[in-house]
A = this chain, B = another copy of it.
Amino acid sequence: MSETAAAVGDDRPEEGYGLSHEMLQAVEEALDAYNLQDVEKLVVPLHSAVMADLLEQLHPEDRRTVVGIIRPHLIADAEVLTYLDEEVRGQVIELLAPEEIASALAELDSDDALGVIEGLEEEEREKVLEALPTAARMFVEEGLTFPEYSAGRLMQREIVAVPMFWTVGKTIDWLRETEGLPDDFHLIFAVDPMYRPVGSVRLAHMLRSKRPVKVGAIISEDIRPIPAEMDQEEVAHQFRQLSLVSAPVVDKSGRLMGVITVDDIVDVIDEEAEDDLLKMGGVREDDLYRAVVDTTKSRFAWLGVNLVTAIVASMVIGVFEGTIQQIVALAVLMPIVASMGGNAGTQSLTVAVRGIAMRELTSDNAPRVLWKEVLVGSLNGLIFAVIAAPVAGLWFGDWMLGLVIGSAMIITLIAAGFSGALIPLVLERLKVDPAVASGVFLTTVTDVIGFFAFLGLAAWILI
């Protein structure tokens, strides 16, 4: 007990920065000793974000035990749920009754509550919704009518809006007297009689204006309302593009519905970046916390596609079986050409996929970028031809073999650069996500061209 207590003490100063190794160990030791009271003493005082980290790091069985212990706390401090990884959150929520989830969610901001609820199974969701207080339920149900990953799902419903004709003094008095306003807000929106946003005033500006001034006189009209249906990637792009801090969200008739602030965008950007990285690596989603069988299933598809393309490449080799039979050195050297092609292509591909995601590579500059990739491919092809040719020549004592591998290198690297940039552009045009599918096509192209160029030239020149 003294040990775990010391661990808690040690952890304090750092607590805010994440879960410490010592804390995790202390909790695991207390769990192993079935010392549930100690577990409670250790876990309950943690910051919600750190508690979430802890739940993520624990073994699933331990996680169940801890959730059982801190259940009342979890319902009172639902923030923890918002910090959890989606996979783990699902597991935690399964352990709570719908009424418990509902009473936890009622404490959260509308956007956070919606974020938790949209991850629930249909049936569970219904039950939780029924148990929610009417106001919160209305916000959530309205939120669910918007498409997944849209501005409507992202926005916070708690906003502060006043009529144009109010004065600064009246507004400040109203803010002071009114109950139930959001805890924190940065902008006050000015709305017309139809509740359409016409401008916004920053609080700092409001505070520094004289009381008799009309709100309409100090608003900024550059508010760029976001339709609630807009996809969240588009919303993130707009925030990034114009360095926005917040933007009002409007419904189809232009009525003010909510507000999106830049801190909501951080999560979207993280998700997007994760998406692109994971997709390019051939995994559909972050499966760190997933069970073995689920992970195997989710990775199977990509490997299956790769098996097919690998067989296609092998068939190219199969065409040249006779050639290889005569010169076995070809079998030894051919993976070098294909591997260089694959890597050079992946370089172009990565820059192109990132450029498309950031809207910097468009149909306007595509021809220039393609042409540049061809030039870069030629230059690097030439350089590596000059390196690889003598290596192969010396290795097998055959200078013509060096000539073959050098020429194949140039052809393959040009094709790799060109197709590395072209494939994502074409997929984008066909409305297929370039991050997810480009890799398969690219390696098929570079393997086929690499093997064909090398073995074909060998058959032609050496035999």
Contacts and interface: CB of A to CB of B under 8 A. Distances in A.
A457 interface: no
Chain copies in the assembly?
Answer: 2
A240 B270 contact: yes
Contact of A360 (B85, B183, B263, B309): B85
Interface stretch (A96-104, A128-136, A137-145, A379-387): A379-387
Interface stretch (A68-76, A250-258, A312-320): A312-320
Contacts of A292: 372, 375-376, 379
Interface in A26-84: 47, 49, 53, 56-57, 59, 82-83
Which interface residue of A17, A204, A293 has the most chain B CB atoms within 10 A?
A204
Given A186-B186, A328-B325, A347-B302, A335 B447 contact: yes
Say what secondary structure dominates the interface of chain A. helix
Nearest to A224: B16
A269 B270 CA distance: 7
B299 A380 contact: yes
A395 B130 CA distance: 60
A288 B355 contact: yes
Interface string A424-463: 0000000000000000000100010001000000000000
A371 B354 CA distance: 33
Given A281-B346, A346-B281, A335 B354 contact: no
A229 to B, nearest CB: 15
Interface size class of A (residues with CB under 8 A): 35 or more
A123 interface: no
A93 interface: no
Interface in A149-194: 172, 175-176, 181-186
A307 B379 contact: no
A117 to B, nearest CB: 19
A77 to B, nearest CB: 14
A203 B176 contact: no
A376 to B, nearest CB: 5
B376 A296 contact: yes
B379 A296 contact: yes
Contact of A238 (B16, B328, B362): B16
A423 to B, nearest CB: 14
B224 A240 contact: no
25 contacts: A17-B237, A18-B237, A49-B241, A57-B362, A82-B243, A262-B263, A269-B273, A273-B276, A273-B277, A283-B351, A286-B351, A288-B369, A292-B376, A295-B376, A296-B375, A300-B383, A302-B347, A303-B340, A303-B343, A306-B340, A310-B336, A311-B336, A313-B335, A324-B328, A335-B338
Q: Which 4 A-B pairs have the closest CB atoms?
A: A281-B350, A273-B273, A331-B331, A203-B203
Given A17-B241, A183-B204, A288-B360, 5 more contacts: A18-B359, A206-B207, A280-B280, A281-B347, A339-B443
